[in-house]
Amino acid sequence: MSMPPEKDMRAAIASRDKASDGRFFYGVITTGVFCRPSCAARPARPENLRFFPGVEPAIVAGYRPCKRCQPTVGKPGVARLVEIARYIESHADEPLTLAKLASQAGLSPSRFQRIFKEAFSVSPKVYQDAIRMRQFKQSLKEGSSVTDAIFSSGYGSISRIYGEATRNIGMTPKVYRAGGAGETIAYAGLDTALGPMVMAATEKGVCFVQFGEHKESLFAKLQKEFPKAEFTASPAQFTPELDAWVDALDKHISNGAARPDLPLDLRGTAFQVKVWRFLLSVREGDVLSYGELAAQIEKPKAVRAVASACAANRIGVLVPCHRVLRGDGGLGGYRWGLDRKRALLDAERARGTQL
């Protein structure tokens, strides 16, 4: 499935173009809802939009159908599967058998399993496990004790969640729950050739580089990423190098200097960190597809998971997820907009021809 260029999609959303319905769908990260281009809902900020070629990828990414424009209407099979998926979400803490879910869908267990996996790329059980893990992480963020979060999310044993959580969030539940508590994070903002940028660092290294329309909104995102940390504007006692790091990255982005090799504080799931670490080995001027990246990390069937890991990267440019393209050579997605992705690739290509 292919989508129109990003600028065309944004124009279609702004004009609520009904002719674009079905060509793509867009999600709003602040509401967790996805819509048709013609949706009459209040416009979202441009930096909060995410684009999807179809209903299923939007749902897999965790977005709910908009109740106003009803993007699943007219797709009866998908609409029914969405209902089942929503049932799984609201009952994720309960034992859900394949037979029970199939009965609700009016299908045999084997057929239900097959079409659910075709639509969402995962089995009903894996989908439930993912929802359960999401609820567990949310409970930790909201301040629940580790034990309370374990049992309220439907996990029946403490030992099981410790193994599963460490595998899925890249750290122990206790560390995840801390949300940056006890840490001091220095930050600095700058206007670059790619627009406003905010960089932040812990004593271990850079933990955040993001681009947007306003530095204020970027700082708000930083606070959301590390809700319990203390923040200090650079220069900071714990990261006196930050001003120099910001300047070095700006020279790379705006003036074509070499990409600075800075210490990084990578935080994510074990799988995400594996993807990001591999991206650090991709040379400037080189590109690869999501499928090639999945194969390189010995997870050839995890193409969508690789794409999600790239989208979750919070350290733009320094972790060069912009070098990953679709299998057909198209740009694919980019957390900070396809115009920025295109500009980065064009600049790297131009520097390569000058060597």
Which residues are tagged catalytic?
35, 321
Q: 40, 70 in Cβ contact below 8 A?
A: no
Angle between helical axes of 158-169 and 124-141 (0-180°, round to 10): 90
Enter the tokens of residue 46: 């441009």
**CA atoms lying within 13 Å on the CB side of residue 113:** 9
**Residues in Cβ contact with 323 at an 8 Å cutoff, skipping those fewer than 6 apart:** 279, 282, 286, 287, 288, 345, 348
Taking CA 64 as the corner, what is the angle to CA 130 and CA 226, rounded to the nearest 5 degrees? Answer: 60
Q: Which residue has the tokens 């801390």?
A: 178
Q: 213, 194 in Cβ contact below 8 A?
A: no
Distance of CA 148 to the CA centre of its chain: 27
Cα–Cα distance for residue pair 73/75, rounded to 1 Å:
5
Q: How many residues does the chain have?
A: 355
Strands (E), 175-318: 184-192, 195-201, 206-211, 230-233, 288-289
Taking CA 308 as the corner, what is the angle to CA 302 and CA 312, rounded to the nearest 5 degrees? Answer: 140
- If DSSP codes are grouped into helix, strand and coil, which group holds residue 324? strand
Report the chain's C-alpha Rg in angstroms.
Answer: 21
Strands (E), the chain: 25-28, 33-35, 49-52, 64-65, 184-192, 195-201, 206-211, 230-233, 288-289, 324-325
**Phi, psi (deg, nearest 5) at residue 237:** -60, -40
Cα–Cα distance for residue pair 197/191, rounded to 1 Å:
6
